[in-house]
Amino acid sequence: MGRRNRKRNRDGTNAAKNGSGDGGNDGQKRPEHYEEILRENQGFNLYYKTQKVIPEDEWDNFIKTMATNLPVAFRITGFRAEADILRGIVKDVYLKNFAAARTDDGNLVIPKSLPWYPRELAWQVNLTRQMIRRDEVFAKLHHFLISETVCGAISRQEAVSMIPPLVLDVQPNHKVSRKRNQLFSRSRIQVSVIDELVDSFCSEVLDMCAAPGSKTTQLLEMLYAGDDTRMSEGMVVANDADNKRCYMLVTQAKRLNSPNLVITNHDASVLPKMTETGPNGEKVALKFDRVLCDVPCSGDGTMRKNVDVWKKWNGANGNNLHWLQFRIARRGLELLKPDGIMVYSTCSLNPIEDEAILCRLLKEYPDCLEIIDVADKVPGLRTVPGVTTWKPMSRDLKFYENPEEIPEKFSSQIRAAMFPPSPEEAAAFHLDRCMRILPHHQDTGGFFLAAIRKLKPLRSVNSGPKSGEDRSSEEVQEKEKPADVVADEDDKMTPPKKRRFFGFREDPFIYFNQEEPCWKTIKDFFGVEGLDHRLLLSRNREEKKKNLYLTCAAVKDFIDCNQENVKVINTGIKAFIRCDGKNSDCEFRLAQEVGVNELLRFLNKRVVKLQREDALAILRKHDLEDPLQNSALCDETQEALKQLSTGSVVFVYETKMKDVEKTVRLALVGWKGAASVRAYVAKSDRVHLLRLCGGDTSYFENLDIEAKFGNKSANGDSAGNATQEEQDALKVAAEEIPVAV
């Protein structure tokens, strides 16, 4: 504890002794409310009017919109089969009955799907988070958003932050077409062998500045490409420089329950070399098919949400971040494969943080990079093209036309690379392919992004010694290289340096070997077939393992190759949990985190199919002290349970939706006792599954509403028990054609 904190504690103690009770506030009462921040900044107005980023005839509308609150937006997790059911529930139950509701400004509440997001899976409501939290009218919507967010079925994120993953266009297998062409060129290889080799390849994606993780979850969804009946072999490496924010990322990622994610903790501008196992078993440099480079920025596009930016904004903010943004983007390109795509994005409208970064990259590596047009990836999104001219401004609101005008006192803040390119360079760089989102066009925040294709390994045109800030991350990690050396030289492997890690010390990731003692018991008890047990890991070296985690093969290879030189914070999803002393033939039970999405397809035993009424009965029985008796279930379910010994089971309920050919399978991990059953399902997952089965969730909603608004709200129709109309809507949305099982 530092001297300042000790003094603050002493002041607080003295104040308490003096009877003030206000801690270290000098005995004065805290203000009852904070002063309203003035949403106005003359420097901001001057800067953006001069840059002409906003069309002149739209300025008044732009600045008026910037001074208003940002509407709430959320996205339904798209790769899950139940996404279509949940979309129907959103439309027909939770966003339907707002006809008489008004915002604080007196406007009608109008929910709408975002026109540029696929399948109506993203929605926006012209309410603020504060309105939803405090108003009883929106209590059910608030409970719905919270519970579905906790279980991972919904992501509450700003609308514009959903755009970069869409334009990055992640596919489950980016390597197929390129590798297939290479293999077909060798006529001696048979087609069947080619197909076998092609199937073993997978996509590798890097999210450089990932926390808090909403974009990362989108990238993971795309690896499944709408098919959640198999384990995707792709991998997403999500990195963040802030150790504490990495654990926020862990929390967010756990909601999606994906075995394809690795979370790392490094400064993105100097990410270490990473390796993977090559085709002949050798270590080769790991390069990524797609890179998301959403860099730290001044955030003036977020003023509608982060009101503090209004009073903190000044012309030097973007200048001070320019160098960090450039170094992060350059490192991302170094880690990108040839023919790969990197999306560079910021939540700033400032050309110094946007177009100037791209121009510098294109000048540094001519003929190696190109900006590509990705507008077709988001049809319906209104954008404006990138600008080709701009003027750097200093903190004292003075603009500069060229580097020669910069005074000595600002020479370290405003550099030559921040100035616009020549007209010829601007035309060659295709800056018009950049996309800037203006808040007043579609009631969003401000945003900028551009997609860059890497045509070939990077080769810098600069020569001579470089200053520290101009050195590439490769040069920071190694000795200085000649200027004409290919920057992707790390393809020629040298042993990576063992690094000193800071922050919390993580437990090791220890994968199963061929002789793992507990695996035979698990395999026989659950009838596991087709799962390579070497993809399971534990976090301790002791023989008695507490939890077992599952990853995909690409993640296992990443951990095996990089655990010594890359700080890995988290990977894997919980698959099995030790349950000693439960009178079971197996010392492990299944974990709900993974039972549905990944392990179920490998289980041939301990799976019990349910009718709808049985599923509802098990989910409604939330009291662990009074479990559901087997006799309360239908005859078919009772007969299936009689065949099983005491222990962990998976209950499965299947349904088909109208106009959807695929069967939607809902599963919950449970326990079969001597005469009773219970579900090992968290409250949020229980509520989620009840909704999907068409059940009444008002009991759980009332618990939260009563705690917040009191008994009156919990018992009233406006925020209490589900009306008959709502129950009917849930059944229609969730269960169109029950499947006989």
CB within 8 Å of 494: residues ≥ 6 apart: none
Distance CA 273, CA 585 (A): 46
> What is the CB-side half-sphere exposure of residue 262 using CA atoms within 13 A?
28
347 catalytic per annotation: yes
CB within 8 Å of 716: residues ≥ 6 apart: none
Tokens for 511, please give them. 């994968």
CB atoms within 10 A of CB 396: 12
CB atoms within 10 A of CB 98: 18
SS3 354: coil
Is 214 part of any known ligand binding site? yes
SS3 218: helix
Q: Backbone phi, then psi, for 660, in 5-degree steps? A: -125, 115
Distance CA 98, CA 578 (A): 47
Is 640 part of any known ligand binding site? no
* Residues 529, 530, 536: CA angle, nearest 5 degrees: 95
Distance CA 584, CA 604 (A): 18
Is 19 part of any known ligand binding site? no
Distance CA 221, CA 41 (A): 40
Q: Which of 350, 423, 362 is nearest to 391 (CA)?
A: 350
Q: Which of 246, 293, 297, 347 is catalytic?
A: 347
Is 187 part of any known ligand binding site? no
SS3 436: strand
Tokens for 297, please give them. 């920025």
Distances from the Cα of 89 to the Cα of 120, 144, 519, 584, angstroms: 12, 10, 41, 39
Is 524 part of any known ligand binding site? no
Q: Which of 509, 619, 507 is nearest to 556 (CA)?
A: 509
CA dihedral 293, 433, 353, 117 (to 10 degrees): -50
Is 465 part of any known ligand binding site? no
Residue 216 near residue 261, CB atoms below 8 Å: yes
Is 575 part of any known ligand binding site? no
Tokens for 154, please give them. 């919904």
Is 696 part of any known ligand binding site? no
Question: What type of residue sits at position 61?
Answer: N
CB-based contacts of 142-146 (< 8 A; 24+ apart in sequence): 143/700, 143/701, 143/704, 143/705, 144/94, 145/74, 146/704
> What is the CB-side half-sphere exposure of residue 734 using CA atoms within 13 A?
23
CB within 8 Å of 713: residues ≥ 6 apart: 136, 139, 705, 706, 719, 720
Q: Which residues are annotated as a binding site?
A: 209-215, 240, 267, 294
User: Known catalytic residues?
Assistant: 347
Annotated binding site for S-adenosyl-L-methionine: 209-215, 240, 267, 294
